[in-house]
Amino acid sequence: MFQLNGKVALVTGGSRGIGRACCEALAEHGATVVVNYVKGEAAAREVADAIVAKGGKAEILGFDVADPKACEAAIEDVVKRHGKLDVLVANAGISIDGLLLRLKDEDLDRLFAVNVKGALACARASTKAMMKAKTGRVIFLSSVVGEMGNVGQTAYAATKAAVIGAAKSIAREFASRNITVNAIAPGFIDTDMTSHMNDAMKEHLVKIVPLGRTGTAREVAAACVYLASDEAAYVTGQVLRVNGGMYV
């Protein structure tokens, strides 16, 4: 089960955190993985090298998801070189936290440019190739806060809710082409994104997680492998929650 041999997968923001774990897990299951990054070239190279060292197939590809033309050119390039793109994991994301009354327009614009427009630009370019192949998997990274909200995360939560609406719509648009589109909504996962939280914030968060701990990037990556696999062929337009029961 969950064999991805012969599949080509692009993971945006694959250089760190959840994206890195998705790259590693997809490669372990046989996929050729394209590891995207924007700043972390060395980190992305380390991910690809680690995959290759274990006998897997990986390459790196730098582009800024906030630049729609760059997304299109990069994805066209992947399709040209590999002849196809089977799986897109639209994972690249940023968080900028703050209460609504202190929300800056430039932060709102940046959040939407990366988390929403970036994910959609990649989905648009990828589905073009998937349509021709009449098969494909698009997996968006949403968040628990996109469904339940969180004090101090209005803008970030809005971007993550947007991704769910987009996933459900794209799922309907492309179902007849045998392309499935889903979102993973992780809870509180230990990565660079959550490392700025102080101990008090972390303790509070862990208290509201029924499983009583933070999640790992690897646990999110397992959901990604499942959604990318043939076994998930009848799953589309869904939100797969990997959150320790934080929101049910």
Point out which residues bind ligand NAP (CB under 6 A): 12-13, 15-19, 36-40, 43, 64-66, 91-94, 114, 118, 141, 143, 186, 188-189, 191-194
Supply the minimum distance, in Å, between the C-beta of residue 71 and ligand NAP: 9
Q: What are phi and psi of 57, to 5 degrees?
A: -120, 125
Supply the minimum distance, in Å, between the C-beta of residue 143 and ligand NAP: 3
Distances (CA, A) of 217 to 36, 60, 166, 187: 17, 20, 23, 10
Which residue number, 114 or 155, has a Cβ lying nearer to ligand NAP? 114
Which residue number, 131 or 208, has a Cβ lying nearer to ligand NAP? 208
Supply the minimum distance, in Å, between the C-beta of residue 54 and ligand NAP: 20
Q: In this structure, what is the dihedral angle of CA atoms 145, 191, 91, 64, given to the nearest 10 degrees?
A: 120
Supply the minimum distance, in Å, between the C-beta of residue 28 and ligand NAP: 18
| Residue recorded with tokens 């589309």 | 236
Supply the minimum distance, in Å, between the C-beta of residue 151 and ligand NAP: 16
Which residue number, 155 or 233, has a Cβ lying nearer to ligand NAP? 155
Which residues, including other chains, have CB under 8 Å from residue 167's CB and lie 6 or more apart?
A: 138, 140, 142, 181, 182, 183, 237, 239
Say which of 37, 156, 234, 247 is annotated catalytic.
156
Which residue number, 68 or 237, has a Cβ lying nearer to ligand NAP? 68
Distances (CA, A) of 89 to 38, 48, 148, 189, 230: 15, 16, 23, 17, 16
Say if residues 110 and 94 touch (Cβ distance below 8 Å).
yes
Which residue number, 130 or 189, has a Cβ lying nearer to ligand NAP? 189
37 noted as active-site residue: no
Residues classed as catalytic: 156
